[in-house]
Amino acid sequence: MDQKHALGVDIGGTKTAFGVVSDKGVIIFHGEVPTRDYPTPDELIKEIHAQISEAGYPDFFGIGIGAPNGNALTGNIEFAPNLMWKGIVPICSLFEEKFETRSILINDANAAAVGERMFGNAKDLDHFVTITLGTGLGSGIIIEGHLVEGQHGFAGEYGHIRVFPENGRLCGCGRNGCLETYVSSTGVVRTFKEWINEMPSDSLLTKIENPDALAIFDCWKKKDAFATRIVDYTAQILGRSLADFSCFSNPQAFVLFGGIAQSGQGFVDKVKIELEKNIIEPLKGKVEIRLSLLHDENAAILGSAATTFWKFN
């Protein structure tokens, strides 16, 4: 029997990336177009179809689509503030009509979990949670081999579990003290800005104008004391939170994904120490922290394609 192939599509505010992915997790064709060049979704889909057809891949097992404000239950993009396409866009139906195959819409945090399970660092796990550290903090939960989506597909919004509900940082969700306001790329920068008056004059960070999270993590790797304080604080809050989350689903592991998490094993080790300090006795020593094996630039395509194999099999 021939290998199966899925089309993975990652629609973003700036660019749309897509790829033909084998059921072994190999991307055999990759394309990218600026999303804003296409005033309607039909035009974007037509372009993807043209590129794929030209490359000679007409038949797909299915199409997995990741999109902002995607509703996994309806297959629609709903009122996405970062897209030009306003209102409700029936993105799954549009792809299905053009490609004459089934499709599925999935949020990126859940796609990361399925991608990790099929092609990444969780192939051997039936109980795990992926934690994606980007602009925010996303999480995808797999329990007993099943992706947990919940009533509206919002299960696993760990980023909005409040770690400092009283006087914590204001979150995009309108509440205070959510985990992602501390543990994410933007959270790390917020910590830096809050503490900037305490920065020693010999810190490497004084030489960088408006450092981003990766620059802060780079300085930590160069043993800068102020950057180390910031990274320690971030790892402490994450490790403590993962200890609490462990009580919910008793996972074998948390798999960390995203630029700052994947910047080194040192961060994982710090998170692990904090997790062990805070976890309940029966779970001590029983929850691993792993690094994702998916590469940042391809993870969304792999994850959405993986979801196709996962759901339609």
Residues that bind Zn ion (CB under 5 A): 160, 171, 173, 178
**Length of the chain in residues, anyone?**
313
CA distance 105 to 66: 6
Reported as type and span, the H/E element at residue 218 is helix 213-221
Nearer to Zn ion among residue 98 and residue 169 (C-beta): 169
CB of 78 to Zn ion, least distance (A): 19
Q: What is the DSSP string of 87-129?
A: SEE-HHHHHHHHHTS-EEEE-HHHHHHHHHHHHSTTTT-SSEE
Phi first, then psi: give them for residue 250, nearest 5 degrees. 45, 60
CB of 173 to Zn ion, least distance (A): 3
CB of 156 to Zn ion, least distance (A): 14
Reported as type and span, the H/E element at residue 290 is strand 288-291
Nearer to Zn ion among residue 127 and residue 160 (C-beta): 160
Nearer to Zn ion among residue 178 and residue 271 (C-beta): 178
Structure tokens at 205: 């960070």
Nearer to Zn ion among residue 118 and residue 171 (C-beta): 171
CB of 183 to Zn ion, least distance (A): 12
Q: How many CA within 13 A on the CB side of residue 42?
A: 1
Nearer to Zn ion among residue 176 and residue 249 (C-beta): 176
CA distance 184 to 186: 5
Nearer to Zn ion among residue 49 and residue 169 (C-beta): 169
Nearer to Zn ion among residue 133 and residue 178 (C-beta): 178
Phi first, then psi: give them for residue 271, nearest 5 degrees. -60, -40
CB of 160 to Zn ion, least distance (A): 4
Contact 128, 156 (CB under 8 A): no
Q: Is the dihedral of CA 29, 34, 37, 42 positive or negative?
A: positive
Phi first, then psi: give them for residue 102, nearest 5 degrees. -80, 160
CB of 171 to Zn ion, least distance (A): 3
CB of 177 to Zn ion, least distance (A): 8
